């Protein structure tokens, strides 16, 4: 591989037998293959271990890390814990980029090639991704993630930037906190909606093993924990009222935030971060997301020691 094209994938997974072959095969079809792929089996009880063993036997650059069964699927901090079990199996200095990759995706063939090229062309990009779509009645439907974030199911990072922000926090909303941490340093966190970067998400965004409404409420709690204010949360919920499940999904998000506030649940313990987030959200409401992002990149917030 040429300089600037060594990337490693780390994939936490649990009971993904119904989806994972599509992800595995779409990675194998990439125009630039990963230097290494560490897949963390987080206590699967289905056919996942057998499928992983099959692929690892055929491809020596795929390594399987096995964790004990905790008895249930864990989102948020549990996923990050599993990710770090994989991270412990690599030497980050050997790679230019790393990606936390879920095993319920189908990727286009030049996905990683294009992300690396763009990051090599623009050194201000710390993390990036394409856009997630779901398939409905033979059509691709956009999951509508913002352009100011790299998507949690395929977070592609410059290794040096990942280390500089301290990696992922082991808390709910880890996949939003990291992007704002990058922005605090004047770096870009972004995603692009272009045909060659659109991937299929086989499990809909915001869903949960307990149902999509539980997933939406969890998102609302995550926004509360991160430090999102009520006014911005309302605006975010309203903007998603035309997304399935119509209206009720937005109300579930809003209730997740409100119930957390009523119970006075703890928030992310970084006052400088929360102040930065509130300032950013105010600018988004006043001037729009694109201009707010540009302003933050020009004048990054002062960093605490």
Q: Using CA atoms, how far apart are residues 190 and 182, in angstroms rounded to an integer?
A: 10
The structure's pTM equals: 0.89
- Which of 29 and 3 is assigned the larger pLDDT? 29
Q: How many other CB atoms are there within 10 angstroms of residue 138's CB atom?
A: 5
Q: Is the peptide bond before 245 cis (omega within 30 degrees of 0)?
A: yes
pLDDT for residue 78: 87
Per-residue model confidence (pLDDT) at position 70: 64
Mean pLDDT of 137-161: 93
Quote the radius of gyration of the chain (alpha carbons, Å): 19
| Separation of alpha carbons 65 and 192, rounded Å | 31
Q: What is the pLDDT of residues 172-222, one digit of tens each?
A: 899 999 999 999 999 999 999 999 999 999 986 554 455 678 888 999 999
Mean of pLDDT over the chain? 91
302 pLDDT above the threshold of 50? no
Q: How far apart are CA 172 and CA 110, in angstroms?
A: 31
Answer whether 157's CB lies under 8 Å from 115's CB.
Answer: no
Closest of 99, 128, 87 to residue 30, by C-alpha: 99
CA dihedral 23, 28, 32, 34 (to 10 degrees): 80
Least confident of 94-98, 156-160, 203-207, 241-245: 203-207
For residue 235, what pLDDT is reported?
Answer: 94
């Amino acid at each position: 591989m040429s300089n600037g094209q060594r990337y490693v994938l780390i994939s936490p997974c649990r009971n993904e037998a119904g989806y994972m072959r599509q992800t595995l095969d779409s990675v194998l079809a990439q125009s630039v293959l990963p230097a290494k792929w560490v897949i963390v089996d987080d206590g699967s009880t289905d056919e996942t271990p057998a499928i992983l063993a099959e692929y690892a036997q055929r491809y020596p650059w795929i390594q399987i890390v096995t964790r004990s069964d905790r008895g249930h699927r864990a989102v948020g901090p549990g996923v990050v814990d599993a990710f770090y079990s994989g991270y412990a199996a690599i030497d980050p200095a050997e790679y230019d980029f790393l990606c936390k990759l879920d095993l319920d995706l189908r990727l286009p063939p030049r996905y990683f090639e294009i992300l690396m090229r763009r990051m090599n062309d623009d050194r201000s990009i710390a993390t990036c991704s394409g856009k997630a779509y779901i398939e409905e009645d033979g059509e691709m439907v956009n999951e509508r993630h913002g352009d100011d974030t790299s998507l949690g199911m395929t977070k592609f990072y410059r290794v040096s930037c990942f280390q500089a922000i301290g990696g992922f926090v082991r808390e709910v909303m880890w996949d939003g906190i990291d992007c704002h941490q990058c922005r605090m340093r004047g770096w870009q966190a972004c995603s692009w909606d272009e045909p060659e970067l659109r991937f299929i998400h086989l499990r809909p965004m915001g869903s949960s093993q307990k149902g999509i409404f539980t997933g939406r409420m969890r998102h609302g709690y995550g926004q509360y924990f991160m430090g999102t204010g009520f006014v911005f949360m309302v605006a975010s919920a309203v903007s998603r009222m035309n997304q399935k499940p119509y209206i009720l999904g937005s109300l579930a998000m809003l209730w997740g935030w409100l119930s957390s506030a009523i119970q006075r649940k703890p928030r992310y313990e970084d006052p400088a971060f929360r102040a930065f987030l509130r300032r950013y959200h105010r600018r988004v409401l006043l001037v729009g997301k694109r201009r707010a992002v540009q302003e933050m990149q020009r004048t990054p917030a002062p960093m605490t020691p």
